[in-house]
Amino acid sequence: MNADLFAALPATAGFELFEERLRQSGCCLPAGVDEAGRGPLAGPVVAAAVILPPRYDLAGLADSKKLSARRREQLFGSIRQQAVAVGVGFCSAAEIDRHNILQASLLAMRQAVMRLHPAADALLVDGLQTLALPLPQQALVKGDARCASVAAASIIAKVVRDRIMQVFDRRYPGYGFARHKGYGSAEHRRRIAELGPCPLHRASFRGVREYL
């Protein structure tokens, strides 16, 4: 991380101030990075990276967890239309079991950044850790509630993952993936107990490994 580049950014910077300050420092294409799906018992972890233009019209942009599914879908389309670039990365349940959920999340984030065209020249990463990439970057705790491009990335990641789980619901009927998206709801836990895990389940997670 280039510490000097981020030194002027206060911990309480406004929703769009992170990107604005980076542009003033010479970084023309700062990207926000976030993931969706760290907690579920099944399905992939999905990450997104988004470069927003200096001016955009995304009324209601916020952390994806605070938005209804309908509003996320609306903003998803608007972000795709207005963003300079969007990249998406994935790690499957098998990769999560192989690497652990933290490393799989970081890997998916790196994939998302590397799929940006044009490429980013600085990163704002949701969470506590930066990425193993040769770019100036800053980790932002609760970045999806503090930084516009990270909020946009959270929406892209969440909508893409939800759509994937709807497809998997048809491939693996009986678990209710379209409803709970793989999270550990009472219904989902009951279905695992009745049917046993399927290939989408994370074998290393409590709530799944007991039934292997």
Sketch out the chain's domains with CATH numbers: 3-160 (3.30.420.10)
User: What are phi and psi for residue 167, nearest 5 degrees?
Assistant: -65, -45
Query: Coil, strand or helix: which one is 151?
Result: helix
Residue from 160, 4, 26, 30 nearest 89 by CA = 160
76, 46 Cβ separation under 8 angstroms: no
pLDDT of residue 1: 47
Q: Give the Cα separation of 137 and 130 in Å (integer).
A: 7
Confidence (pLDDT) at 147: 94
Binding-site annotation, residues for a divalent metal cation:
34-35, 126
- Annotated binding site, which residues? 34-35, 126
pLDDT of 13 reads 54
Positions of the chain with pLDDT under 70: 1-14
What pLDDT shows up at residue 48? 99
